[in-house]
A and B are shown apart, each in its own frame.
Chain A
Amino acid sequence: MRKLITPLLSGLLLLPALLPLSAQAVDGSDIMQKGGANPAAMPCITCHGTDGKGMAAAGFPRLAGLPEAYIAKQLADFKAGRRENAVMQPIAQSLTPEEVAAVAKAYAELPKVNIKPGPVERPQPGSGAWIALRGAWERNIPECTLCHGPAGVGVGDTFPPLAGQSTLYIENQLKAWRGTKAVAATRKTKAVAAVPPSRRNDPNGLMAHIAVDLSEAEIKAVADYFAGLGESKETFDESQHRLR
C-alpha cells in the first residue's frame, strides 16, 4: 500500500511543475509550501519557516508581514544581482514574474511583527539601543528608528521592519552593505583583497554610508537590540502613538 502511495504522492507534487504555466493560477501560498514551477525555485518555507518568521540561528529573515512591494523589489534585486546571495539568487532567477508577485503578496498578508508600545526609552551611550534610538550624528548616522519607524516596525514600502529580524540577519545585511576593506600584507601575513559590498540596492544610497561608518561592535550591538525586541502576543492598538 505504502509503496503505491509514495510514487503517487511524488507524482502529485511534480504535477504543477509539469503543467504549462498559463494553465494554472499562481498561488503565493503554494509557492511558499512547494516552490515555484521551476524546481530550482525551492519552497520558501525550507528556510523562511512554515510561519514565515525565518530561522534566527541561520540568519534567514522573517518575511511574514513585510510590505508586498518590498519583497517584490528584493526578489528583483536578487535576480539582477544588486543584492548578492548564493542561496537566494538562483531561486529569484527561477521564479517567474507572476510567481514573484504572488509570493510577495502572500507573505505581506501574513501577520506583521507585533511590538507593543512602551514608554520612552532612555538608552545608554555606547549601547546598541543608542545607535537604534539616537544614532551617531557626529558621523551623520541617523538613529535607525528615524527611517525604520519607532520600535523598528518599518515604514511604507521602502523601509522594512527591523523588529522581528534576527541578530545574524541584521548583522549580515549591514556587512553586505559595507563590504570589507583591503588589508595590506605584513611580513607574516598575506594581503587580503577588499571585498566590495554585496548589497547595493538601497534607494538613494541611504544605507551604504551608514553601514560603512558603523564599527563591527556597533553593528553587532544594534542588531542585538532589534532582535531582542521580540514579539508581543497582545495586539497593538493602532490609535495609540508609538513613542521615541
Chain B
Amino acid sequence: MKNAKILAALLGGICLFAGVANAADTANTSRNSRLDDQTQLPKAPAKPVSQQYFQPPADTDIPNNAFGELVRRGQDLFMNTKALAPEYVGNEMNCVNCHIDRGRKANSAPLWAAYPMYPAYRKKNNKVNTYVERMQGCFQFSMNGKPPAADSEILTALTTYAYWLSTGAPTGKALPGRGFDEPPPPKGGYDIARGKAVYEKQCQLCHGENGEGKKVGVTSVFPALWGKDSYNWGAGMHRINTAAGFIQHNMPLGRGETLSDQEAWDVAAYINSHERPQDPRLVNGSIDETRKRYHADDGVNLYGVVVNGKKLGQGLQ
C-alpha cells in the first residue's frame, strides 16, 4: 500500500516531468531548436575617420584548389540563392539582396564582420549558436524557407565563402561596418505617411508600387519589400531600426548615405507596416503571444501592432 502510494507519486512526478518536457519540445520543434534568431546585435564600434574598413581579400586571391572551388560555389549560392537552392528559399530573396557587393560592403552586414563573431552565446535561447545556425536563421526568416541541414553542401559552401572573406579579420572582435549601423531614432519619432512619400519618390521605381519588386522572367532582380515574396515577420529586417540602417547606407542602390535619419526611419516604417509571411515561431497561433515572446523587446517593430485599423502579423501564404 505504502509502496503503491510511492509508485503513484513517482509516476505522477514522471508524468508531470514528461509533460513539461513535451511542452518545451513542442515549442522548440515548431521551429528549429538550434536556430539562431535574428535578434539585434550590439551596436558596432564607429570607424575612426583615419581608418579604412576591413578589406576582404580580392577574387584573384581565391586559390585554385578544392578550397577555392568551394569558396566560388559559396559565392555563386550567395548571389543566386533562389536559382541554385530553390528547395530552401520560400520567397524570392537572395543573400546578396541584404548583403550588398557579395557580402563585402561595410554597413551592409558584411560577412567578414559576422563570421568571426561566432560561435556566440544568445541570451534569448540560452544557447551558444554557431555561424551555421545563424545562416539557418537567414533561410528560415529572411528567405522564408527551410534551413538546409548543418552539414549540407550548401551551408558548407556558404561557410567556406564567409571564412575566406574574413581572411585576416580578428576573431571575436566587433569590427566597424558590422551589421547595418542604424541611425538613431528621430526625436519626433517616425511617420508612416511621410515614409510613403519617400518610398514613392526614391524606391518605387525599382521595388514597385506594392513593394512587389521586379523580375526578369522567373529571376528576381529587385527584391520584394513586402508581400508573399519578401522576408517574413521573423526576419531582422522587419525591425524598423534595422531596415533604416540598411536603407540609409545602401539605398537607393549606388546612392547610399543620401537619405536623412528621419527619411530612412520613415521609409523603413512604411515598408515594415505592410503584411508579409508569418513569423515561423508563431506561438499557439496567436499574434499577441508571438509578439509578447519574440517581438515586444526586439527593437522597433510593428508585429502585432494595429496600423490603419488592421493588426499586423496576420501573415501571407
Q: B214 to A204, Cβ gap below 8 A? A: no
Q: B221 to A209, Cβ gap below 8 A? A: no
Q: B214 to A155, Cβ gap below 8 A? A: yes
Q: B255 to A241, Cβ gap below 8 A? A: no
Contact with A along B142-168 (1 / 0, CB 8 A): 000000000000000000000000000
Whether a CB of chain B sits under 8 angstroms from the CB of A149 is yes
Name the residue of chain A whose CB is nearest to the CB of B76: A120
Name the residue of chain A whose CB is nearest to the CB of B52: A138
Contact partners of A134 in chain B: CB under 8 A: 59, 101-102
Whether a CB of chain A sits under 8 angstroms from the CB of B58 is yes
Contact partners of A241 in chain B: CB under 8 A: 80, 82-83, 217-219
Chain B contacts with A in 145-203, Cβ cutoff 8 A: 201-202
Q: Could you tell me the distance in whole angstroms from the C-beta of A183 to the nearest C-beta in chain B? A: 28
Q: Could you tell me the distance in whole angstroms from the C-beta of B292 to the nearest C-beta in chain A? A: 40
Interface of A is mostly: loop
Q: B254 to A210, Cβ gap below 8 A? A: yes
B contact set with A: CB distance below 8 Å:
58-60, 72, 76, 79-80, 82-84, 96, 100-102, 104-105, 201-202, 205-206, 214, 216-219, 221-222, 252-256
Interface centre among B72, B80, B82 (most CB of A within 10 A): B80
Q: B216 to A204, Cβ gap below 8 A? A: no
Q: A206 to B254, Cβ gap below 8 A? A: yes
Q: B100 to A150, Cβ gap below 8 A? A: no
Interface centre among B58, B254, B255, B256 (most CB of A within 10 A): B254
Q: B256 to A140, Cβ gap below 8 A? A: yes
A-B CB contact pairs (8 Å), 22 listed: A120-B80, A122-B72, A125-B58, A134-B59, A134-B101, A137-B104, A140-B254, A140-B256, A149-B221, A150-B221, A155-B216, A158-B206, A204-B252, A209-B255, A210-B254, A236-B217, A238-B217, A241-B218, A242-B216, A243-B76, A243-B84, A244-B96
Whether a CB of chain B sits under 8 angstroms from the CB of A197 is no
Name the residue of chain A whose CB is nearest to the CB of B222: A155
What's the A-B contact tally at a CB cutoff of 8 Å? 81
Q: A203 to B217, Cβ gap below 8 A? A: no
Q: Could you tell me the distance in whole angstroms from the C-beta of A73 to the nearest C-beta in chain B? A: 12
Contact partners of A204 in chain B: CB under 8 A: 201-202, 205, 252, 255
Whether a CB of chain B sits under 8 angstroms from the CB of A81 is no
Known contacts A122-B72, A140-B254, A155-B222: A203-B205 contact under CB 8 Å = yes
Whether a CB of chain B sits under 8 angstroms from the CB of A76 is no
Q: B80 to A240, Cβ gap below 8 A? A: no
Contact with B along A198-229 (1 / 0, CB 8 A): 00000111100110000000000000000000
CA distance A203 to B60 in the complex (A): 35
Q: Could you tell me the distance in whole angstroms from the C-beta of A188 to the nearest C-beta in chain B? A: 39
Contact partners of B72 in chain A: CB under 8 A: 122
Q: Could you tell me the distance in whole angstroms from the C-beta of B219 to the nearest C-beta in chain A? A: 5
Contact with B along A112-130 (1 / 0, CB 8 A): 0000000010101100000
Q: B205 to A125, Cβ gap below 8 A? A: no
CA distance A209 to B102 in the complex (A): 21
Contact partners of A67 in chain B: CB under 8 A: none
CA distance A244 to B219 in the complex (A): 10
Name the residue of chain A whose CB is nearest to the CB of B202: A204
Name the residue of chain B whose CB is nearest to the CB of A210: B254
